[in-house]
C-alpha cells in the first residue's frame, strides 16, 4: 500500500484500482488508465530509453508508449530504492 501512496504523490494521480497484468500493473486513475512497470535497470539506462522514445515520437512514430512525467519532470518514480515508470494504458 505504501508503494501506491508514493506513486500517487510523485505522479500527482489518484489510484482507484490496481491489478497485476503480465509483468506490469494496470492502474485505473483519475487521469485515465495507466500502465505501471517496475524497472530492473538503473536510472541512466532508463533516461536513455526515455530519450530514444521521445526522439521516435518527435519524428512521427505514433505507436510508442510515452512515459508520464512525475511532478519533478522525471519519467520515473523511486519508491524504496525501486524504480517505476508510468505510461498510458494501450489496449
Nearest CA to 54 among 36, 71, 42, 68? 68
**Could you tell me how far CA 19 lies from the centroid of its own chain?**
15
pTM for the model: 0.91
pLDDT in tens, 9-56: 999 999 999 999 999 999 999 999 999 999 999 999 999 999 999 999
Alpha helices in the chain (DSSP H): 2-11, 43-58
**Predicted pLDDT at 2:** 82
Amino acid at each position: 500500500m505504501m508503494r501506491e501512496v508514493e506513486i500517487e504523490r510523485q505522479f500527482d494521480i489518484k489510484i482507484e484500482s490496481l491489478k497485476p497484468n503480465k509483468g506490469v500493473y494496470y492502474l485505473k486513475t483519475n487521469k485515465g488508465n495507466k500502465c505501471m512497470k517496475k524497472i530492473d535497470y538503473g536510472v541512466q539506462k532508463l533516461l536513455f530509453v526515455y530519450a530514444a522514445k521521445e526522439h521516435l515520437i518527435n519524428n512521427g512514430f505514433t505507436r510508442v508508449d510515452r512515459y508520464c512525467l512525475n511532478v519533478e519532470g522525471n519519467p520515473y518514480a523511486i519508491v524504496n530504492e525501486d524504480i517505476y515508470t508510468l505510461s498510458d494504458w494501450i489496449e
